[in-house]
């Protein structure tokens, strides 16, 4: 494509010339106030943008020389904050809050006290930090490092033409630097695994550094890239480079890795031999190819996900309810509304579903004449209920027979109609049979591995068994015509049951062998859901009557 766009970036340069010498780029350039720090004198300095409001809404805390930076923040910034603000911290590999990076000392007690004061500040909306090492507070959240630039300027990346993920070899690139010391043991371990017979057949291993153009070509020719932590907990900038070249990063789960949940990455529990197998690679690529690279405009969507503006709006937008993460766009928590027996006010709702048409049907029923209800459709296995900082009384989780839901999702991803025997699409053109183009995409092949390819049960259990402080109303899709009146009373709405017609897709319309394949994967889960009532109110792991 040739044109460039700005991507997410948190690092500041030049180093070693004192705090006042830094050039503001990336996140810091957008913030109203910036606390800079450096190993050279002066160690810390406060810089205020000329156009900044008297009461800063966004603040950047550079951690290149962390302890003087925190001390200046506590002395000169924290006491004057009287209005809501979002705090960003980073620009170094030191970790927060415990500082576990072996190249720096652990967080001293007086700095922990400053951190506690920040988190307890009544005007703090959120604190985003690089290299989060522990989940200690709902307002303290991870953010990715993003991309580095050689000259320390804005992180600009080209919109490149590259092979779609589904057309690439099913291969993994292992390329990282090794250094002395225990800090780099994970990379040494992964390199040894990559040379082992379990990984060797589908892994490319680079023993020596290569020129940057060669490395980028390798990124474009592999489906996956191992992004192993070493200098800090964050897998960036390699993860960002991989995504920019259309490859999927594989990273290890950690508090830091949670910053990547809205990006197309794979997270493994640990760097062990069984964490990555050829079967898992096939499943991951099938899932991610369909999500991000088999629809019109996928390439532009890919770059928008990585753009600086998307990341900034998602985080700084919390101050004005402009967040792109819809599950976070909700009003402040009011303890008076938190009693499970009380219905939420009759306003907008967040309708949650692992996918399929059910959430859309309910959202349109809730607001038939106004703007659509806020709703979340995600097939991500990492999707969890929002953190307690975004408590709300507006969550409705729609569940349905997972066999029909999986069928609907398969047809949605493969480009087929909602029923295998349907006539031409609305456009008048008959839908192509995906199995004719890719034998691995027909339903039998898709299910032959006998696993849950959409992670439907995990998605449901994350919500149903979560300990979130806000109530979540679970609604069975198939029961909606019968429970509509009760649901409407709880929501404070008067709605007729019309408009809750069921979708056409039904797994029981399939041939017997396809039914058997679906039931083998989802039957136990389906029968578990069948034992539940049509309406269930859950809060803090307990069930309440409505």
Most confident of 86-90, 229-233, 371-375: 86-90
Mean pLDDT for 452-457 is 75
- What's the predicted TM-score (pTM) here? 0.60
Model confidence at 295, pLDDT cuts 50, 70, 90, reads low
Cβ contacts of residue 263 below 8 Å, gap of 6+?
243, 305, 306
Axis crossing angle, helix 512-530 with helix 402-414, rounded to the nearest 10: 130
Whether the CB-CB separation of 368 and 499 falls below 8 Å is answered with: yes
CATH class entry, domain 165-293 = alpha beta
134-143, 340-349, 527-536: range with lowest mean pLDDT: 340-349
Average pLDDT over residues 155-168: 86
For 2-6, 343-347, 471-475, which range has the lowest pLDDT when averaged over its residues?
343-347
Tell me the CA distances in angstroms from 388 to 68, 276, 279, 330, 540, one per residue in order: 31, 33, 36, 12, 11
Check whether 13 has a pLDDT greater than 50: yes
Per residue in 458-488, pLDDT tens?
A: 888 888 887 777 788 899 988 888 888 888 8
For residues 225-254, average pLDDT: 91
Query: Is residue 328 scored above 70 in pLDDT?
Result: no
> What is the per-residue pLDDT across 176-210, written as a single tens digit (0 to 9) for each?
887 777 778 889 899 999 888 779 999 999 877 88
Of the two residues 161 and 332, the one the predictor is more confident about is: 161
Element (H, E) at 192: helix 185-195
Question: Three-state SS across 197-266?
Answer: CCCHHHEEECCCCCCHHHHHHHHHCCCEEECCCECECCCCCHHHHHHHCCCEEEEECCCCHHHHCCCCCE
- Kindly tell me if the per-residue pLDDT of 317 is higher than 70: yes
**pLDDT tens, residue by residue, 210-219:** 888 899 999 9
Give the pLDDT band of residue 414 (cuts 50, 70, 90).
low
- The Cα 20–Cα 496 span in angstroms is 65
User: Residue 521: which of 439, 457, 438, 442 has the closest Cα?
Assistant: 457
Q: What are the sequence ranges of the domains in the chain?
A: 4-142, 165-293, 330-421+431-544
């Amino acid at each position: 494509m040739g044109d460039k766009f700005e991507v997410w970036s948190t690092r500041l340069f030049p180093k070693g010339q004192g705090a006042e010498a830094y050039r503001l780029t990336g996140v810091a350039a957008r913030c109203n106030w910036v606390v800079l720090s450096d190993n050279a004198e002066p160690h810390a300095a406060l810089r205020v943008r000329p156009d900044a409001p008297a009461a800063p809404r966004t603040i950047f805390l550079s951690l290149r020389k962390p302890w003087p930076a925190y001390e200046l923040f506590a002395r000169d910034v924290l006491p004057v904050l009287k209005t809501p603000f979002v705090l960003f911290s980073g620009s170094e590999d030191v970790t927060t809050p415990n500082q576990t990076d072996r190249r720096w000392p652990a967080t001293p007690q007086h700095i922990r006290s400053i951190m506690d004061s920040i988190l307890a500040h009544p005007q703090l909306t959120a604190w985003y930090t690089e290299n989060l090492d522990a989940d200690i507070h709902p307002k303290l959240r991870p953010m990715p490092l993003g991309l580095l630039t050689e000259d320390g300027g804005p992180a600009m990346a080209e919109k490149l033409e590259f092979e779609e993920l589904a057309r690439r070899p099913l291969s993994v690139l292992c390329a990282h630097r090794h250094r002395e010391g225990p800090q780099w043991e994970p990379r040494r371990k992964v390199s040894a695994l990559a040379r082992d017979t379990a990984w060797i057949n589908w892994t490319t291993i680079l023993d020596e550094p290569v020129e940057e153009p060669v490395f980028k070509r390798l990124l474009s020719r592999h489906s996956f890239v191992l992004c192993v932590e070493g200098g800090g907990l964050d897998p960036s900038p390699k993860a960002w480079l991989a995504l920019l070249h259309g490859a999927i990063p594989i990273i290890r789960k950690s508090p830091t890795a949670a910053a990547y949940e809205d990006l197309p990455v794979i997270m493994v529990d640990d760097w062990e031999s069984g964490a990555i197998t050829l079967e898992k690679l096939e499943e991951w690529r099938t899932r991610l190819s369909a999500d991000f690279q088999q629809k019109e405009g996928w390439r532009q969507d890919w770059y928008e996900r990585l753009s600086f503006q998307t990341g900034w709006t998602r985080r700084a937008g919390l101050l004005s309810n402009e967040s792109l993460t819809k599950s976070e766009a909700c009003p402040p928590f009011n303890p008076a509304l938190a009693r499970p027996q009380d219905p939420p006010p009759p306003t907008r709702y967040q309708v949650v579903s692992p996918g399929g048409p059910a959430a859309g049907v309910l959202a349109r029923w809730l607001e038939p004449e106004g703007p659509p209800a806020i709703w979340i459709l995600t097939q991500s296995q990492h999707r969890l209920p929002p953190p307690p900082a975004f408590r709300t009384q507006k969550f409705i989780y729609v569940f349905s027979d997972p066999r029909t839901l999986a069928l609907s999702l398969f047809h949605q991803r493969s480009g087929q109609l909602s029923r295998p025997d349907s006539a031409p699409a609305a456009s008048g053109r008959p839908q192509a049979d995906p199995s004719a183009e890719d034998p691995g995409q027909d339903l039998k092949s898709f299910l032959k591995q006998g696993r849950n390819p959409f992670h439907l049960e995990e998605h449901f259990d994350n919500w149903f068994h979560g300990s979130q402080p806000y109530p979540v109303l679970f609604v069975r899709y198939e029961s909606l015509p019968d429970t509509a009146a009760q649901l409407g009373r709880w929501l404070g709405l008067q709605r007729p049951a019309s408009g809750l017609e069921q979708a056409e897709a039904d797994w029981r319309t399939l041939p017997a062998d396809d039914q058997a394949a679906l039931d083998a994967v989802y039957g136990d889960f389906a029968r578990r859901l069948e034992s539940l009532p049509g309406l269930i109110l859950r809060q803090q792991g307990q069930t309440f009557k409505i």
